[in-house]
Amino acid sequence: MSHPAVSLLVNPHRHTWLLSLYLGLAPVYRLPGIGDEYLRLFKAALAVAGVAVVLVPPLLSGRLQLPAWVLGPPGFLALILLSAPGLVQARQMAFAVMFVMDIGCAAGFMWCFFYLARRGENVPVILARALVIIAALAAVALVIMLAKIPDWTEPCGQLWRPAYSSGFGSSATHWSTSLALFLPVVVLLMGMVVNWRRGHYMTMIGIMSAGILLVSQLVAGGRTGLLASAVSLIALVFLRASRWLALSSLAGGIVVIGVASFDRKCSIHLGLDRLLSPTGETLVRAQPKTPKHLGLDRLLSPTPADEVSFSTKIDSISTSRVGGYKAGLRRIAERPFLGHGIKQVLIVGRWGPQIEIHNLWIKWAAYSGIFAPLWFAIMVGLILRIAVRLIANRAAALENRIVAAMLGLIVVSGLVASMLEPNALIGDFSYTAIWWAATGTLVGIYAKERGHRE
């Protein structure tokens, strides 16, 4: 009889449950009755245990195979070395350590799922379990929120207010982006994979999960996640993986957003008011009321609303993102090869005294120089190339082509988020862990297909 610890390491079902549980809890920053520190420790333990039970046994036996060169240990080591200028110049050493740890977590998770996919394990089951977990948590948050509605005279105001402050995420944007990355997994859950269990039961769970994710995104109001979800839904229409689900979800989202735009509080919550009033009401409300006929209003607001430039309107609609991009590019031009150091580039914005550059690539280049994000772009480009090859390869197994299409949507959704958020993909591993799991699975499936052909 083997020792229980050994049994835990060799049992294929246990480590997949550890990985599923971590992926389902990774975007969760708060749970009722559990301290934030304990939750972070628990999630860290799940991640370490899940990766360890997959990679340690083959490592000890000498059978561990990892991706080569760009996506393997040399590639991630080069990524850290190219980021060295930003690490050395970091405002605090803790920021540099956290950045290196984040890259290490990304590499470990990618290699873990690469090994599982290359070995032929049914990775979509791991992702589907994680989807059910996070959809269940989002449903609980929505039920709790709806149960606290005392009056329907202002339903939207009551609906938005406790969305994430008393829910499961400390950041509406992070929570919404995580749900967007999980959306393509719904198709895998609904039986689009040949080996996956079909039937009305899984279809209903998939439809419910998609609805819960989209409603939770609307409640949280994370516009980056909503945009990434829209990209996934539109892509599903063209891929024809699940035309009815994609069309119905897209139509439902348009109807909900259209209805919400008629309510002032909902419109402000979703940022729709900026499309009609790009200069924003926040600045107007912050100014004292002055008699317009005396011309004193021009002293506080030198530029009338009808004379605001187009760039200012765009900057207001994007919550100062465009202005931050311009300022970030200017900082990159000052030190293009060495950067200014991690957390040493802060931009003064219209909506706050200091804001971060809401673009992973520009922020990274401003921190460490252009070589680190350029190398990361090469890594991501290679992953996309692998996804396209798998999808277009008629000789590949149908299951692998469908899985590659869905995982490719996760990769694209993450790239969309990285263009609008500073910590997507690199910088906060928790809420984009599913992205690294998807990339590792893609590379693993590709390696397995090549091995079979050879």
**Positive or negative: CA dihedral 181, 160, 173, 38:** negative
Give the residue, 52 or 31, on which the prediction is more confident: 52
Please state, in angstroms and rounded to a whole number, the distance separating the CA atoms of residues 187 and 213: 13
Alpha helices (H) along 148-222 = 155-160, 172-182, 185-189, 200-220
Would you say residue 230 has pLDDT above 60?
yes
The rounded Cα 395 to chain-centroid distance in angstroms is 32
Is 384 in a helix, a strand, or coil?
A: helix
Q: Tokens 């996309």 identify what position?
A: 384
**Which of 48-52, 230-234, 297-301 bottoms out in mean pLDDT, i.e. has the lowest?**
297-301
Would you say residue 68 has pLDDT above 60?
yes
**Which of 162-171, 324-333, 343-352 bottoms out in mean pLDDT, i.e. has the lowest?**
162-171
pLDDT at 292: 45
Q: Tokens 């200017």 identify what position?
A: 330
pLDDT band for 318, please (50, 70, 90 cuts). low
pLDDT at 332: 93
Give the residue, 130 or 348, on which the prediction is more confident: 130
Main-chain dihedrals φ then ψ at residue 355, nearest 5 degrees: -130, 160
Greatest extent of the chain over all pairs of C-alpha atoms, in Å: 92
Per-residue pLDDT tens digits for 236-245: 766 655 556 6
Would you say residue 157 has pLDDT above 50?
no
Per-residue pLDDT tens digits for 272-286: 555 555 444 433 333
Residue 437 token pair = 């799991």
pLDDT, mean over the chain = 76
pLDDT at 149: 44
Is 43 in a helix, a strand, or coil?
A: helix
Residue 229 token pair = 């979800």
pLDDT at 283: 35
DSSP string, 214-262: HHHHHHHT-HHHHHHHHHHHHHHHHHTSSHHHHHHHHHHHHHHHHHHHT
Per-residue pLDDT tens digits for 81-105: 999 999 999 888 999 999 999 999 9
Please state, in angstroms and rounded to a whole number, the distance separating the CA atoms of residues 349 and 355: 6
Q: Tokens 């799940």 identify what position?
A: 46
Closest CA to 448 of 151, 125, 119, 35: 119
Percentage of residues in the chain with pLDDT exceeding 70? 68
Please state, in angstroms and rounded to a whole number, the distance separating the CA atoms of residues 109 and 127: 13
For residue 34, the cross-strand partners are 31
Per-residue pLDDT tens digits for 371-393: 999 999 999 999 999 999 998 88
Burial class (CB in 10 A: 0-12, 13-18, 19+), 63: exposed
- Identify which of 68-82, 126-140, 150-164, 396-410 has the greatest average pLDDT: 68-82
Please state, in angstroms and rounded to a whole number, the distance separating the CA atoms of residues 162 and 142: 9
Across residues 157-178, what is the average pLDDT? 54
pLDDT at 449: 83
**Which of 139-153, 295-309, 330-344 bottoms out in mean pLDDT, i.e. has the lowest?**
295-309
Give the residue, 332 or 176, on which the prediction is more confident: 332
Would you say residue 359 has pLDDT above 60?
yes
Please state, in angstroms and rounded to a whole number, the distance separating the CA atoms of residues 318 and 275: 10
Residue 440 token pair = 């590792």
Across residues 96-116, what is the average pLDDT? 94
